[in-house]
Structure formats: structure tokens, C-alpha cells
């Protein structure tokens, strides 16, 4: 089989070497299209491939139509909202992600940003500590659990909400289970968002919800931009709630307005940094290669998302 790594933002070199080793030892051929600048390059590269490994690359109906032999797409990472799942399903293409491979990286960034904020961007002013604070986790998946593990080490009190009943998992992790997202916003000093972007969650973090937060609370988003109602959040932070802070790893479309109006009460990483570690990069790339080999060897669809 011919397998293409198509990455507008390339993997680390060592990750590509590892992917090649896995693919070639299973008897397949690996080709790469890295740092491409034009969709036409991607359309040409997929013409004769059977499998595709991508990162945040946009795989829409046009790309799938240009790839008549494509059987499987693996998104090396957690979120797969960059792949048109309906079209993939209609064309019998299996889509997978590589869950858990970058969740520690994202969780560590959460604490990097929280400490940066609590210590006033290291500007010399006296700050505050995370120990003893109540941390609310919205969506208790791979990242949420890793955030909990670190928070426990910092002696924070952790509450979590997920729309699945994850009572046992939360109990085992020493987490207080909340039955609504509202309860998290009402009870916690810091609310950390780990929702996927879905029809249900898009724009769901809105004025009504954030308005419930405790005085001087902090909202941190390392999930997806789309889950925030940016206009409502900015209006709330500017008017009724001048005490709240918003930290995000996904720059809002209204970044300039947020930055200008909110000063130190707002921080956005210059680009999405959550999964940007050497370790996460390698883990996700190698997992994608292994998943493709198992799919072709024995039809394994363990991490299929469509
Ligand atoms: P995951 O699939 O392991 O967990 C997602 C959780 O969300 C699941 O437990 C699911 O039950 C829950 N959920 C889904 N819809 C919900 C809803 N409407 N209400 C409540 N809970 C809901 O995913 P993950 O690996 O933990 O990733 C979490 C988020 O972080 C995703 O949005 C992902 O795209 C994002 N992410 C960002 C970066 C980054 O670079 N900043 C890197 C990795 C992941």
C-alpha cells in the first residue's frame, strides 16, 4: 500500500523517520508532502495513495475525490474536526484519530498558562498560588484526566463534568463529579475547557454560563476556538465581569479586540501550542503509522471516529 504523510506543519524529523520505519517494515511504501503551501499540491499528492496521515490539514470532499484509492485517513492528534467525516463515510473511507498521544503535552501547557497568569506574566508583581484552588474540568477525556493528575500533585480540588456518566473514573481519580456544566462554572476558581468542537458544543461557552463564575475566576481554553461565543464573552468581560480572566491556546478571531480591551486579563498563545512538543509529535505520528499497518494487516478499526 502507498501511504502519504501530508503535513502543512511538518512532524519533527525524528517522527517521520519513525513513521517510515514502521510503514516500511510492514511492507508498505511511504511518501511525504511536507510544508505544502497550496491545496493543489495536496490534490496531486493524494492521487494514488491508499492511506493518509495528517495533522491539522483540511481534508474535505475535494481532497477525497482526488484520492480514488483512499481507504483510511489518520489524524495524528485528538481533534478531527478538520476532516469531512460525512463525505469520508459516504466514500467508505475509515477516519481515525490517535487519542491520548498528546494529552500530557496539552495538560502541561494548561499549568504553564495558569502559573504565568497567577504570577502576573512574571512582571515582578506578587502573585498567587494554585494550591488549594478549585479547578473545574469541562469534559473528562484524555486531556481532562491528565490535567487532573497534575492538579492533584499541586493539591488543587478538582471537579469535573462530562456528558457521559464517568462516575467510576472520576471517583478513582479523586474528582468530585458534577452533573451539569453550570455547576462547574458556579463552583470553581478556575474552569478548564476540554470539549471537542461538535454541533452541540459550538458557541456553547457563552455569556450566561461564564457570567456564573466566582469572583476573580479564570477561564482557560486549550480545546477549540469554536466552542466559545467570542462576541458574548468579550462583552461580558468588558461590562458585568471586569474581574474575570480568559486564557486561551486558540487565538480568538477577535484577538486584537480582546488584547486591546482586556490587558493582563487576557492571554492567547501566538499559535496553538498544546500539542507542540517533541514527545507528542513523535507519539502521535508513530501511533498513526501503527494504526494504519494494523488496519491493512487485520482490518483493525479501534480508533475509528466515523
Ligand atoms: P477526548 O475525546 O479524550 O475527550 C473528550 C471528552 O469530551 C469525552 O470524555 C466526551 O465524553 C466529552 N464530551 C463530548 N461532548 C461533550 C459535551 N457536549 N458535554 C460534555 N462533555 C462532552 O479528547 P481529548 O484528547 O481530551 O481532547 C479534548 C479537547 O482538546 C478537544 O477539543 C481536542 O480537539 C483539544 N485538543 C487541543 C490541543 C491543542 O493543541 N490545544 C491538543 C489536543 C487536543
Per-residue confidence (pLDDT) for residue 118, from 0 to 100: 98
Percent pLDDT > 70 in the chain is: 100
User: 78 CA to middle of ligand 1, Å?
Assistant: 8
Tell me the average pLDDT across 250-257: 97
Average model confidence (pLDDT) for the chain? 97
Grid coordinates belonging to 285: 505520528
Percent pLDDT > 90 in the chain is: 98
User: Would you mind telling me the total number of residues written for the chain in this entry?
Assistant: 306
User: 103 CA to middle of ligand 1, Å?
Assistant: 10
Per-residue confidence (pLDDT) for residue 125, from 0 to 100: 97
Identical fold for domains 2-101+277-298 and 103-268, yes or no, is: yes
What topology is assigned to 103-268 in CATH?
A: Rossmann fold (3.40.50)
Instruction: Return d(Cα 87, Cα 148) in angstroms, integer.
Output: 36
User: 41 CA to middle of ligand 1, Å?
Assistant: 31
98 close to 75: Cβ distance less than 8 angstroms: yes
Per-residue confidence (pLDDT) for residue 154, from 0 to 100: 98
Per-residue confidence (pLDDT) for residue 105, from 0 to 100: 97
Tell me the average pLDDT across 20-38: 98
Across the beta sheet with 245-248, the strand order is 176-177, 157-161, 134-138, 190-193, 218-221, 245-248, 266-268
User: 143 CA to middle of ligand 1, Å?
Assistant: 7
Instruction: Return d(Cα 97, Cα 102) in angstroms, integer.
Output: 11
213 close to 240: Cβ distance less than 8 angstroms: no
Tell me the average pLDDT across 4-19: 95
User: 81 CA to middle of ligand 1, Å?
Assistant: 11
**pLDDT digits 0-9 by tens, 178-193:** 999 999 999 999 999 9
Which of the listed residues 9, 82, 143 should we mutate to test ligand 1's pocket, taking the one with most ligand atoms within 8 A of CB? 143
Instruction: Return d(Cα 282, Cα 18) in angstroms, integer.
Output: 8
Nearest alpha carbon to residue 45 among 33, 56, 53, 34: 33
Per-residue confidence (pLDDT) for residue 83, from 0 to 100: 98
Query: What number of other Cβ atoms are within 10 A of residue 93's Cβ?
Result: 21
Tell me the average pLDDT across 229-252: 98
Query: Which atom number of ligand 1 is nearest to the Cα of residue 79?
Result: 34
The arrangement of secondary structure in 2-101+277-298, i.e. its CATH architecture, is: 3-Layer(aba) Sandwich (3.40)
Q: How confident is the model at residue 171 (pLDDT cuts 50, 70, 90)?
A: very high
The residue extents of the domains of the chain are 2-101+277-298, 103-268
**pLDDT digits 0-9 by tens, 69-101:** 999 999 999 889 999 999 999 999 999 999 999
Cβ < 6 Å from ligand 1: which residues? 77-79, 99, 102-103, 106, 139-144, 162-164, 194-196, 198, 200-201, 222-224, 249, 272, 274-275
Query: Which atom number of ligand 1 is nearest to the Cα of residue 224?
Result: 32
Amino acid at each position: 500500500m502507498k501511504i502519504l504523510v501530508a503535513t502543512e506543519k511538518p512532524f519533527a524529523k525524528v517522527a517521520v523517520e519513525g513513521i517510515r520505519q514502521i510503514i516500511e517494515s510492514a511492507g508498505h511504501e511511504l511518501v511525504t508532502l511536507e510544508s505544502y503551501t497550496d491545496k493543489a499540491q495536496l490534490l496531486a499528492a493524494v492521487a494514488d495513495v491508499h492511506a493518509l496521515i495528517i495533522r491539522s490539514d483540511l481534508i474535505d470532499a475535494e481532497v477525497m475525490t482526488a484520492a480514488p484509492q483512499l481507504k483510511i485517513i489518520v489524524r495524528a492528534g485528538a481533534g478531527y474536526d478538520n476532516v469531512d467525516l460525512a463525505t469520508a463515510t459516504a466514500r467508505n473511507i475509515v477516519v481515525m484519530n490517535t487519542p491520548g498521544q498528546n494529552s500530557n503535552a496539552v495538560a502541561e501547557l494548561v499549568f504553564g498558562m495558569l502559573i504565568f497568569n497567577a504570577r502576573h506574566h512574571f512582571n515582578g508583581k506578587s502573585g498567587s498560588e494554585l494550591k488549594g484552588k478549585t479547578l473545574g474540568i469541562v469534559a473528562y477525556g484524555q486531556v481532562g484526566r491528565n490535567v487532573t493528575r497534575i492538579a492533584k500533585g499541586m493539591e488543587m480540588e478538582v471537579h469535573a463534568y462530562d456528558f457521559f456518566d464517568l462516575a467510576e473514573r472520576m471517583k478513582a481519580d479523586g474528582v468530585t463529579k458534577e452533573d451539569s456544566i453550570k455547576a462547574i462554572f458556579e463552583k470553581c476558581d478556575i474552569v478548564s475547557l476540554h470539549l471537542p468542537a461538535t454541533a452541540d458544543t459550538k458557541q456553547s461557552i457563552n455569556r450566561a454560563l461564564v457570567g456564573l463564575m466566582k469572583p476573580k475566576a479564570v477561564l482557560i481554553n486549550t480545546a477549540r476556538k469554536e466552542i466559545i461565543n467570542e462576541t458574548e464573552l468579550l462583552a461580558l468581560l468588558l461590562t458585568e465581569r471586569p474581574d474575570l480572566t480568559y486564557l486561551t491556546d486558540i487565538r480568538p478571531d477577535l484577538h486584537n479586540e480582546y488584547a486591546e480591551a482586556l490587558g493582563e486579563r487576557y492571554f492567547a498563545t501566538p499559535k496553538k501550542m498544546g500539542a507542540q512538543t517533541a514527545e507528542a509529535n513523535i507519539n502521535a505520528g508513530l501511533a498513526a503509522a501503527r494504526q494504519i499497518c494494523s488496519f491493512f494487516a487485520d482490518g483493525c478499526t479501534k480508533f475509528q471516529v466515523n
